[in-house]
Homo-oligomer: A and B are copies of this chain.
Amino acid sequence: MYKAPVEEIAFTLKHVAGMAEALAAGTFGELGEDLVDAILVEAGRFASEEVAPLGEVGDRQGSRLVDGAVRTPEGWRELYRNWIAGGWNGLTAPEAFGGQNLPHMLHVAAMEMWNSGSMAFALGPTLTMGAVEAVEKHGTDALKSAFLPKMVSGEWMGTMNLTEPHAGSDLGALKTRAERRGDGTYRIFGQKIFITWGEHDFTDNIVHLVLARLPDAPPGTKGISLFLVPKFLVNDDGSLGARNDVFCHSLEHKLGIHGSPTCTMIYGDGKFGEEKGAIGYLVGEENRGLACMFTMMNNARLAVGMQGIAIAEAATQKAIAYAKERTQGRAPGWSGEGMSPIIEHPDIARTLLTMKALTQGARAIAYACAHAVDMAHACVGEDARHWQERSSLLTPIAKSFATDAGVDVASMGIQVHGGMGFIEETGAARYLRDARIAPIYEGTNGIQAIDLVTRKLPLSDGAHVRGFIAELKRIAAAVAASNREGFGDTAARLDAAIADLAEATDWLIATLGGGRLADALAGATAYQRLFGLALTGAYLAKGGLAEAGDGREDRRIALCRFAAENLLAETAALKDRVVNGALSLAAARAVLD
Is B562's CB under 8 angstroms from A521's CB?
no
B residues near A194, Cβ cutoff 8 Å: 419
Is B424's CB under 8 angstroms from A555's CB?
no
A residues 432-484 touching B (CB-CB < 8 Å): 432-433, 436-437, 439-441, 444-446, 449-450
Is B592's CB under 8 angstroms from A565's CB?
no
B residues near A433, Cβ cutoff 8 Å: 255, 433
Shortest CB-to-CB span from A488 to chain B, Å, is: 6
Task: Name the residue on B nearest A256 (C-beta).
Answer: B422
Judge if A339 is at the interface, Cβ distance under 8 Å: yes
* Copies of this chain: 2
Judge if A118 is at the interface, Cβ distance under 8 Å: no
Alpha-carbon distance A415/B525, docked complex (angstroms): 13
Alpha-carbon distance A350/B449, docked complex (angstroms): 13
Alpha-carbon distance A253/B430, docked complex (angstroms): 12
Encode A341-373 as 1/0 by CB contact (under 8 A) with B: 001011111111100100000000000000000
Shortest CB-to-CB span from A280 to chain B, Å, is: 24
Alpha-carbon distance A407/B557, docked complex (angstroms): 32
Is B522's CB under 8 angstroms from A346's CB?
yes
Shortest CB-to-CB span from A453 to chain B, Å, is: 10
Is A424's CB under 8 angstroms from B254's CB?
yes
Alpha-carbon distance A423/B252, docked complex (angstroms): 7
A residues 229-284 touching B (CB-CB < 8 Å): 252-256
Alpha-carbon distance A345/B447, docked complex (angstroms): 10
Known: A253-B425, A347-B525. A587 touches B570 (CB 8 A): no
Encode A414-428 as 1/0 by CB contact (under 8 A) with B: 110011011111000
A residues 569-593 touching B (CB-CB < 8 Å): 569-570, 572-573, 576-577, 580-585, 587-592
Alpha-carbon distance A587/B555, docked complex (angstroms): 9
Alpha-carbon distance A574/B333, docked complex (angstroms): 25
Is A423's CB under 8 angstroms from B254's CB?
yes
Is B584's CB under 8 angstroms from A565's CB?
yes
Judge if A152 is at the interface, Cβ distance under 8 Å: no
Known: A254-B422, A339-B170, A570-B573. A591 touches B356 (CB 8 A): yes
Known: A353-B585, A356-B591, A591-B353. A444 touches B424 (CB 8 A): no
Is B555's CB under 8 angstroms from A590's CB?
yes
B residues near A561, Cβ cutoff 8 Å: 584, 587-588
Alpha-carbon distance A517/B330, docked complex (angstroms): 12
Is B419's CB under 8 angstroms from A429's CB?
no
Is B587's CB under 8 angstroms from A488's CB?
yes
Task: Name the residue on B nearest A165 (C-beta).
Answer: B420
Is A449's CB under 8 angstroms from B347's CB?
yes
Judge if A214 is at the interface, Cβ distance under 8 Å: no
B residues near A555, Cβ cutoff 8 Å: 590-591
Is B414's CB under 8 angstroms from A349's CB?
no
| Chain A interface mostly | helix
B residues near A346, Cβ cutoff 8 Å: 518, 521-522, 524, 582, 585
B residues near A349, Cβ cutoff 8 Å: 585, 589, 592
B residues near A437, Cβ cutoff 8 Å: 422
Is B415's CB under 8 angstroms from A255's CB?
no
B residues near A163, Cβ cutoff 8 Å: 419
Alpha-carbon distance A424/B253, docked complex (angstroms): 6
B residues near A127, Cβ cutoff 8 Å: none
Shortest CB-to-CB span from A100 to chain B, Å, is: 33
Is B524's CB under 8 angstroms from A585's CB?
no
Alpha-carbon distance A46/B449, docked complex (angstroms): 42
Task: Name the residue on B nearest A348 (C-beta).
Answer: B446
Judge if A98 is at the interface, Cβ distance under 8 Å: no
Task: Name the residue on B nearest A528 (C-beta).
Answer: B347
Judge if A215 is at the interface, Cβ distance under 8 Å: no
Task: Name the residue on B nearest A437 (C-beta).
Answer: B422
Is B584's CB under 8 angstroms from A488's CB?
yes
- Known pairs A331-B518, A332-B518 / 20 extra A-B pairs, C-beta < 8 Å: A169-B329, A254-B422, A256-B422, A346-B524, A347-B449, A347-B524, A349-B585, A356-B591, A411-B411, A414-B440, A415-B445, A415-B446, A488-B584, A555-B590, A558-B584, A561-B587, A562-B585, A566-B577, A570-B573, A572-B573
Q: Lowest 4 CB-CB distances: which A-B pairs, in order?
A: A569-B573, A562-B588, A255-B429, A347-B446
A-B contact pairs, 9 of them (CB 8 A): A170-B339, A255-B422, A332-B521, A347-B450, A350-B522, A415-B445, A562-B585, A570-B570, A570-B573
